[in-house]
């Protein structure tokens, strides 16, 4: 699957991303035959590989979090994403007409297909999107083998 390269046409860009994600819904890389809905455990994750294949980037939609209530931990080939989402009640008198957003705890441990270098792991949270970047551990990186015999 090719890298996403966006041009200046936003219509084209969104289609390109959606098609690429649709294709990877059944990609055998992680050996899962998942359903496209991502129904169930929270947060749903999308996983990308950087050019060169030395790092993977995980993205999750976790709107309305505070940074210090998000926990991300990478150990070996495991990634933990946990947190608590609070939706505070409005002040004063009010009544809800509609309540669709969910508050509560979540905790997800995800097994990666290879070991990652925990010293080089980094995470950011922006616009309600959690992004975790993990570099493969040295032992898991592709290397060229010289033919000597």
Contacts with other proteins in 18-77 (CB under 8 A)?
18, 20-25, 27, 29-32, 34, 36-51, 56-57, 59, 61-66
Interface mask toward other proteins for 103-122; x: CB under 8 A: xxxxxxxxxxx---------
What is the CB neighbour count within 10 angstroms for residue 110? 16
Residue closest to 60 by CA, chosen among 2, 108, 121: 108
- Residue whose pair of structure tokens reads 């035959």 in the numeric block: 33
CB of 142 to other proteins, least distance (A): 15
CB-nearer residue toward other proteins: 8 or 146: 8
Using CB under 8 A as the binding rule, whether residue 101 contacts other proteins is answered as: yes
CB-nearer residue toward other proteins: 99 or 143: 99
Using CB under 8 A as the binding rule, whether residue 141 contacts other proteins is answered as: no
Output DSSP code: residue 120: G
Among 71, 86, 118, 128, binds other proteins (CB under 8 A): 128
Among 8, 68, 94, 119, binds other proteins (CB under 8 A): 94
Among 69, 71, 86, 102, binds other proteins (CB under 8 A): 102
Cβ proximity of 75 and 9 under 8 Å = no
132 forms beta bridges with 58, 123
For strands 122-126 and 129-135, give the pairing: antiparallel
Query: How would you class 60 by CB atoms within 10 Å of its CB: exposed for 0-12, middle for 13-18, buried for 19 or more?
Result: buried
| Number of residues counted as binding other proteins (CB under 8 A) | 83
Chain CA centroid to CA 116, Å: 15
CB-nearer residue toward other proteins: 40 or 145: 40
């Amino acid at each position: 699957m090719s890298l996403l390269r966006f041009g200046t046409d936003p219509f084209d860009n969104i289609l390109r991303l959606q098609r690429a994600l649709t294709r990877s819904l059944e990609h055998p890389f992680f050996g899962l035959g998942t359903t496209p809905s991502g129904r169930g455990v929270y947060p749903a994750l999308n996983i990308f590989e950087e050019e060169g294949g030395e790092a993977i980037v995980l993205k999750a939609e976790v709107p309305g979090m505070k940074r210090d209530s998000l926990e991300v931990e990478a150990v070996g080939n495991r990634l933990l994403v946990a947190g608590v989402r609070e939706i505070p009640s409005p002040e004063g008198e009010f009544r809800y007409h509609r309540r669709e957003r969910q508050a509560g705890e979540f905790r997800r441990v995800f097994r990666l297909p290879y070991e990652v270098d925990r010293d080089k792991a980094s995470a950011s949270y922006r616009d309600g999107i959690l992004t975790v970047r993990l570099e493969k551990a040295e032992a898991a990186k592709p290397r060229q083998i010289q033919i000597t015999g």
